[in-house]
Structure 1
Amino acid sequence: MDHLFRDCPVTMEVWIALSFQNIIMDQSMDFVQWITWVLEQLNPCQSCLFCCALWAIWGDRNRRIHEGKVSNGKKIANFTSNYITELTGFEKRKSAKIIKNKRWRHPHREFIKINFDGAYNESQNCSASGIVARDAEGRVLLSYLEIHSEITSAFAAEAIACWKAVQIGVDNGWSLSTPKTKEDMIGCVNHIRKLQEKKKGRRKALKQKENETVQKEKF
């Protein structure tokens, strides 16, 4: 891992092409320390480019091993830059369609708000639940992440995340505003299904953009 992302000549060519040559100067840190240090030095845009480059380098390594395809550092760097450009353009077009920005809303003074989300990996049948609890001033009281195995659907992933959020609220002694009628429960289920469809649409759009970028790179 350390050799692939730091010492490999092709990788070093990638970092130089992306103007990240300073991040390979210090060889005294181990891989985890190095990743942490690099992200502390970069601004958000640079961090995005850096992480995308890591992904591209890993993908190139897989193609080299499994398909026998070899790329040089400049080609990987160009792919990374083009991918970020495409992704940024897609996000700008998407943002232009949003009439009103959705922001996190503070709960009432006496309430604690628990936000949750679930991510699903269909190929591995696993999911992740992410949960954050904040008070009325927006201060984070609790954050939680858990990986679940043997999950059969994206809907199940969202439902598990919802259940974990409720469980955390109960464990902390917070009085919860929960569905009280059949209609309320149906509303919760429909809300989870809508979240699932939105995520599915985003994944499909990003996958399409990724394929378009790969096709352009081939030509």
Structure 2
Amino acid sequence: MTVRYQGWNRRCGKTDVTMIPFARTDCDDTKVWKGEPSGEFTVRSAYKLLQEANLDSSNYLLQADTKDFYRKLWNLQLPTKILIFIWRISWNYIPSLVNLRSKRVTTIARCPRGCSAEEDSLHVFRQCPVSTDAWISLNMAWVTEHTDQSAWTWLTWVFSRGTKQQIRIFCYALWVIWNSRNQMLHEKKISSGRDLAFKVQNFLIELEGVRERKLTTTAVRSEHREEELWESIQFDATFDINNSISASRMVVRGQNGEIAASKSTLHSNVSSPYVVEALACLEATNLGISMGLNSVTVMGDSKTIIKKCKMGVRDKSVLGAIIVDIQNNKTRFQRIVFRYIQRAENVKAHDLAKEALRKGEGSYLVEETRETLDAGGRWPRNPN
């Protein structure tokens, strides 16, 4: 069977129909979102398309400082509720008394902590004496040195000046300061700046501890589960972008790590490295089935492909047809695990794939016997 894969013809600027992927099993057509590799629509991908649009920089919002700020924010690995809260501050969407007055929810905007100033975002987090004491107790007094009367400018200034750890503490502190303000306003519970700093430090220690426990638990569970599996198949691929050809290579290892078999396959009309890796993974499952393996760990150094293979829902990306075949192959094993490994752990498969692409021929190796494809592209002793 000839399998074709979707691609982009650089010469004529049109989709090459000879490279459209087809699954070996029947599946319904579905709508996909081109801006996201998963095929699912996300606001993030819409922003990305706007950034890449050929527009005058004055005609759209996402300028360089804005992109840098949000890139740092979403990469802080903080709880989602805190990330969204910081995002709300950046857009002045928090219900400070000044904002509530503008919405005619209240007529009084004076700081509820007893200050004479009105309560806007900057006053709550930077100018109120309680907040100032909290920053001093956290050894973060430098965040109050900025005098610009814009919450957005203040946030971007702190993010550009502070280290990643300082920015994390800064975000925790904003969250705690706002919660303390609400407790004082609605529950009449008063906290000093030192109390707030103590809460921030404890909150930071607690969250870091939870993250470490999750990572440790996940690693232990994965290790115990994989220890039960006997054989493993490592896959990798190389791609010749100029000729749209690729070579995939699979290495089968026994329980003790010894190489039991290997196979290389050539592919033509391949559109991208992602398609190459997906094909290699599919070939790895096919090889496991042909060898009669019951329990196997399929390992590769492409996080994208491994993640898609673990998913239980239909993949809507350009790789969808190949992933469908992989998912169907999973039912042929008693147990199968897909695991990501570093490139350094996958050197053998990578080198063999490069060799196959250089020679321009597929091969099959069992123990000490190498067999090559005949002129018709058939295996003398076909493992699949």
Could you state the TM-score of these two structures normalised by the residue count of structure 1?
0.49
Quick check: which one's helix share is greater? 1
Higher RCO (Cα < 8 Å, 6 or more apart)? 2
